Structure 1
Amino acid sequence: MNISMILDMAVSAGERPVITVDDRSLSAADLLGQARRAAARFGQYPAVLYLGANHLAYPVALFGAALAGVPFVPLNYRLGDQQLTALIDRHPGALVLRPEDLDELVAGDAAEAPEIEAPWDGDAVAVIIYTSGTTSEPKAALLRHRHLMAYLLNTVDFGAAEEGAASLVAVPTYHIAGLTNLMSNLYSGRRVVYMSAFDAAEWLATVRRERITHAMVVPTMLARIVAAVDGADANVPTLASLSYGGARTPRPVLEHALRVFPSTGFVNAYGLTETASSVAVLGPDDHRDAFGSDDPAVRDRLGSVGRSLPGIEIQIRSETDEVIGAGETGLVFVRGEQISGEYGGRSALDAEGWFPTRDLGRLDADGYLFIEGRADDTIIRGGENIAPAEIEDVLLEHPGITEVAVIGVPDPEWGQRLVAVVVVADGAAPIDPEELRTWVKDRLRSSKTPDAIVFRPELPKSETGKLLRRNLVAEMESSHA
């Protein structure tokens, strides 16, 4: 098994554009030929490191590495020189593809490519993706060919896309969603349209110009797109599906998006790098049913990540490693063929193949999964474990707030004090901190009421929209002291 089989299957489906970047497109045959040319070069290296943005060279490098039987390693090219050098140094002798090398990689004649037989070893490492490192040093997550193919075979129907279907991809190349979006779209038969840099207005214009039918964004992108919509309707009649994920999406942003994209089906996808993409999905019908429901339990599902995908099992466990029932919050574990859970040769799977996501969550009686934050984010105040997400959700219900992060700072009496860092909506009137404290106290209880409210113009986030909670903690610990 080798992920390059996706290209062979795409070629068999006919001659049509499968990748578009700016004003240039490649057919499946062109892409396969360019990948074979690249593989002939890549075979002498132990790995291929990709340091560029979305480009025609990205799929060529990915499949070229697969054909050559060497790992493909997309790196965060936005990192500082010192951080990037440290990651490159972890791969001595590897070929490094920098932005200035990418045009050359796709400049040759695909028709002159040599015939190359892909190594058929499902256990070989296909891709190495470095975790974002929002709370620690990045770890090298290994994804083998069998993990990536298991995701595709279990969740995507080959060639099922309608003629003319096109998917807009704006997520970074070094994000698991960037990788699996490429693979799943090629497999399903949708043309992939790349944006090399995200801009909300340009995103909307591209959807209209390229007649995009499917798209995937991270929450910060979704918020900017919604803000850029001029009027009550986004006016994107071809957009059938809009998938979002990669980080927590504020409920007001999602509800606004559902209003301005009335004919678009929304999909919330939950997964990790270590799980080779999504393991749970909240589909379009779920969104519509929840958004239009008067039943609080059904409407709350807008805040869930949906139910497990085929081939995936989910467990919620207590801190003593016991499986707990519906409605109880605990640690989220997942199991399935696509789950890697491996870091540089060290497996994080338990004896029965379960992977600890390190997320806190709960399952409702119908199997909907609610993620309540990272286990490491839990605040212990006066001996009580407090999940920041519960307080954040209550604060986000306030009409003047667009974003919020609740963190704990050291306190000699209580162990930790609760600090809510709040972003006020543009044009909203100033908010009295005591008003927000009362808002929370009336809906939760005094032990979960923030001790302090801090206002900021924005929250620190990674390029993929993940809240950099550690940055806030460090800043607030310093200012609090």
Structure 2
Amino acid sequence: MRLSMLLDMAADGFGERIVVGRRTTGITASELRARAFAGAAVIQAAQADAVVYLGPNGPAYPVAMFAAAYAGVPLVPLNYRLGADQLASLLAKHPNAFGIGDAQGVALLEQAGLPAHTTDDWLALTGQPGVPEPDPVVDDGPAVVIYTSGTTSEPKGVLLRHSNLVSYVLGSVEYMNASVGDAALVSVPPYHIAAVANVISNLYGGRRTIVLEQFDPEQWLATVRDEGVTNALIVPTMLARIVEAIHDGADGSVPTLRSLAYGGAPMPGSLIEKALGAWPEVGFVNAYGLTETSSTVAVLGPDDHRAAIASDDPAVRSRLTSVGQVLPTVDLEIRDDQNNAVAAGVVGRICVRGDQVSAEYAGVGRAVDDDGYFDTRDQGYLDEGGYLFIGGRVDDTIIRGAENIAPAEIEEVLLRHPDVLDAAVVGVPDEQWGQRIEAAIVTRGGETVDIEALRVFARDLLRSSKTPDRFWIWPEIPRTATGKLVRRNVLQKITDSAGTEILSS
């Protein structure tokens, strides 16, 4: 099973339906396949063994993805926000690649000695009519190579094979389930697994995909209205900015929006409660997954959200901060330090297996145990109903006086304070306790906050051993473009400071 099969099914089943871009200028499923044929011919003529995509998301991206699939080579979307040295290092791993990017990306690609075209030129090249279908490729090679963020180490190339990605789509999406007018608005960069997953899942479902290249809350709201968006994907930090903009007077009407999916980072309970209050008719979906799992492995659906917000039962209401239940095509176990499966309610490492799970790294191989399970290095637990709760990365755990403390639990509490817009908690080396807890916060509207009152607020909801020892106020928290907290950078900024930003100790 290859990605090209998904496009063939779309082109044969609803070829005249627009599946990429704006409704007045978009690309139909048949046109996308024709462009993929033309692009494959260009790639094969260049004798390339990969297609490197180095630029913002847009219509050129799905054309590149499927052209690479028909040509029998992987797509390698790189983070265009990385520094020149980092990108040069990654490009050196692909000396025989064909490059596509924006103007800055093309310059870097050419410096690396690669043939390259701007996204506009690529769309012009692939618009040539009448290019025959390439000879079929039958192997299950890598379809996409995504480099991990590298926030804790050198980025690793995750190999997602065709069978992994197709298994994800077939196990989570119903073919042609979208109506003719349905449209999905995606606000994630092309080097994120969610961008890959949305291209193939929306295409298979028959839904038009629109990309908002530069996120702005008011522009996002306007695009939803102007394009009749029915489905959207955002990350929690984007939702926070949208809710804030509506609070400040922006037009929050979204008459066509039926489903809003979020993921990529923890969602504060207070934020999703506000969003549910603002848009009670919208079905919210929380999706949890990793690059190594070809995207989603667990989902908290609209009915789960509504049941949780309406319940007086603390166990049910708490599910609003869960990531829902595991997909039926995925096996999941919570394991302890001895690698034994644990009972419901017990925190451990989240381990998964299934056809969509790649867990394969370039030059390393598959990182699975003898039973095929991949250790995500995420901590979590399952409640009695099978709802999965994420507790953060194993490597993020703060060990204070021999007590293991999850930073995410403290961050969730801090974000419930009305004056706190964003928060990050880290463990800082301490001679007495091993690690002390320090919190960096961003205040709402840039206003000052009563630190002692915030400390009491946290202590009342946590306990003294989990209350931050020190607080910092920063203008922003270091995060990736998809909203993922770069905890290492938070710790580095704290340890490098001379102390002028410390507000309480």
Specify the TM-score bucket, using the shorter chain as the normaliser: over 0.9
Partner of 1:362: 381
1:50-104 per-residue CA deviation (whole Å, 9 max, x = no partner) reads 0121222111110000001001100111211111111101111111212142112
Which residues of 2 match residues 174-213 of structure 1 at below 5 A? Answer: 174-213=191-230
* Alpha-carbon separation, structure 1, partners of 2:290 and 2:122: 30
State which of 363, 367, 371 in structure 2 corresponds to 1:352. Answer: 371
Contact 1:21 1:55 in 2 (8 A): no
1:458 aligns with: 476
Is the contact made by 1:381 and 1:414 (CA closer than 8 Å) also made in structure 2? yes
Which aligned pairs between 1:327-342 and structure 2 lie closer than 5 A?
A: 327-342=345-360
Residue in 2 that maps onto 1:396 = 415
Q: Which amino acid aligns with 1:357?
A: T
Unaligned runs of 5+ in 2: 104-117, 500-505
Cα-Cα RMSD: 1.6
Paired amino acid for 1:37: A
Q: 2:60: which partner in 1?
A: 57
The separation in 2 between residues aligned to 1:246 and 1:227, in whole angstroms, is: 20
CA deviation after TM superposition for structure 1 residue 233, in Å: 7.6
Q: Which residue of 2 aligns with 1:371?
A: 390
Cα-to-partner distance string for 1:389-423 (whole Å, 9 max, x where unaligned): 12222222222222211111111111111111122
Asked if the contact 1:49–1:74 (Cα under 8 Å) also holds between the matched residues in 2, the reply is yes
Relative to structure 1, the CA distance from residue 165 to residue 21 in structure 2 (aligned partners, 3 Å threshold; closer, same or farther) is closer
1:384 correspondence with 2:381? no
Q: Secondary structure at the match of 1:418?
A: strand
Does 2:284 align with 1:266? yes
Distance 1:158 1:387 in 2: 40
One-letter amino acid of the structure 2 residue matched with residue 256 of structure 1: K
Aligned-partner Cα distance in 2 for 1:11–1:335: 32
How far, CA to CA, are the matches of 1:391 and 1:480 in structure 2? 25
Task: Indicate the residue corresponding to 1:4 in structure 2.
Answer: 4
Distance, in Å, in 2 between the alignment partners of 1:244 and 1:293 is 22
**C-alpha deviation, 1:427, in angstroms:** 6.8
Partner of 2:497, secondary structure, is helix
Quote the offset at 1:231 in angstroms.
5.2
The whole-number CA distance in structure 1 between the counterparts of 2:498 and 2:287 is 37
Distance in 1 (alpha carbons) for counterparts of 2:82 and 2:446: 34
In the alignment, structure 1 residue 148 sits paired with structure 2 residue 149: no
Alpha-carbon contact 1:166-1:211 (below 8 Å) kept: yes
Shift of 1:269: 0.4
Aligned positions of 1:38-437 closer than 5 A: 38-43=39-44, 44-100=47-103, 101-108=118-125, 109-121=127-139, 123-229=140-246, 234-344=252-362, 345-426=364-445, 430-437=448-455
Instruction: Return the alpha-carbon distance in structure 1 between the equivalents of residues 213 and 433 of structure 2.
Output: 48
Return the letter of the residue paired with 2:360. Answer: E
Change (3 A) 1:103 1:312: same
Q: State the AA in 1 paired with 2:454.
A: L
Deviates more, 1:468-477 or 1:192-201: 192-201
Q: Residue 22 of structure 1: CA displacement?
A: 8.7
- Sort the Cα spacing of 1:321 and 1:18 in 2 relative to 1 into closer, same or farther, 3 A: same
Q: What is the CA–CA distance in structure 2 between the aligned matches of 1:355 and 1:159, rounded to whole Å?
A: 32
Q: Distance in 2 between matches of 1:368 and 1:180?
A: 23
SS of 1:107's partner is helix
Structure 1 residues 22 and 159, CA gap change in structure 2 (3 angstroms): closer
- 1:427, 1:32 → 2: CA distance? 49
Q: Is the 8 A contact 2:446 2:475 kept in 1?
A: no
8 Å CA contact retained: 1:21, 1:195: no
Structure 1 residue 479 displacement after superposition: 2.9
Contact 1:422 / 1:456 at 8 angstroms: preserved in 2?
A: yes
CA separation in 2, counterparts of 1:414 and 1:193? 51
Question: 1:384 Cα shift?
Answer: 1.2
| Stretch of structure 1 that moved more, 272-281 or 50-59 | 50-59
- C-alpha displacement at 1:434, in angstroms? 2.2
Q: Is contact 1:242–1:265 with CA below 8 Å preserved after alignment? A: yes
1:19–1:192 CA contact under 8 A, matched in 2: yes
User: By how many angstroms is 1:437 displaced?
Assistant: 2.2
Distance 1:218 1:321 in 2: 32
Aligned-partner Cα distance in 1 for 2:142–2:12: 26
Q: Is the 8 A contact 2:100 2:122 kept in 1?
A: no
Shift of 1:320: 1.5
Confirm or deny: 8 A CA contact 1:2 1:118 kept in the other structure.
Answer: no
8 A Cα contact 1:185 1:192, kept in partner: yes
Aligned AA (2:480): S
What is residue 467 of structure 1 aligned with on the other side?
485
Q: How many residue pairs are counted as aligned between the two chains?
A: 479
Q: Give the C-alpha shift of residue 23 in structure 1.
A: 5.6
In structure 2, the CA distance between the partners of 1:200 and 1:443, relative to structure 1 (3 Å rule), is closer
More off after superposition, 286-295 vs 275-284: 286-295
User: Deviation at 1:286?
Assistant: 0.5
Q: Secondary structure at the match of 1:467?
A: coil
Contact 1:4 1:118 in 2 (8 A): no
Distance of 2:480 and 2:335 partners within structure 1? 29
Identity %: 54
TM-score by length of 1: 0.96
Distance in 1, matches of 2:234 and 2:161, equals 25
Match of 1:448 among 442, 445, 466: 466
Q: Which residue of 1 aligns with 2:111?
A: none
